[in-house]
Structure 1
Amino acid sequence: MKPREVQSYDALAEEIWKSAQALLGFNFVAQRQWYEQTFCLAALGDSLAVARNWDLSGLEAIEYALILRHSWFPDQIRQMTPRDKWLSLHEELAGLEMAYGAKQAWRDREATELDANDSPEDVWRVYARGYPVP
């Protein structure tokens, strides 16, 4: 699988942001959380596909990994939140490094660096209502 280029990670980020706005309306906190989690999950999906030599990318690789691991149907997986998908694949995703292009797109769009684990862990921490943990 050919890794995404920086430009396509930029395009991916824009596409995910537009989807968050359409899906979640005027709830800016929920939009932001869904966007960040989905972008990170897609980037980790790319890394997982490269590590496993799959001809998939992004969220398709995540869905495929969930099918293999849990024998869930695609429709069940698509109803899950990004956080639930990440949690269900925690062992598979632990230790994977996001591609340089994903980190660059994150830095350009968010004006922040990813942490030492190459995954912004705060993205995954939420209260039961879905609000980010302070």
Structure 2
Amino acid sequence: MTGAPGGAYRGRLRTELLNDEQIRAKEYPRWSQCRSAFTRGKRRQIVDRHKAQIAQHGVPEFPLLLDVSRDTGWVYVGDGHHRAIALMELGIKRFPFVWRYIDNTLFGLGQPKPSRDPFPYHLLGL
């Protein structure tokens, strides 16, 4: 958990935090719906490609982007849903992340703003 020089805060979190209460799937109301949507077609191919890369090279340093809503305090996967599903399916224990603030998350408005500040772990109940 460090501030990357000249960049956004980087850290690692437990994959089990990717759930419907702590780190939500932004594009889906529930992680089960996200997993279901990624079981077929092109999305499945992308997940399988990530799984193969992780199996061969380990967890990539390309982080999941976590968005934190200023309005609700909720934490979402803003980018990296395919990688998140791959990590869950492989039973990987920890994942790298970068986090951003976003305004009006519930309505999909506002631009994410990368943060150099420490991640607000208290929002996850940690």
Whether the TM-score (by the shorter chain) exceeds 0.5 is no
TM-score normalised per structure 1: 0.27
Which of the pair is proportionally richer in strand? Answer: 2
TM-score normalised per structure 2: 0.28
Which of the pair is proportionally richer in helix? Answer: 1
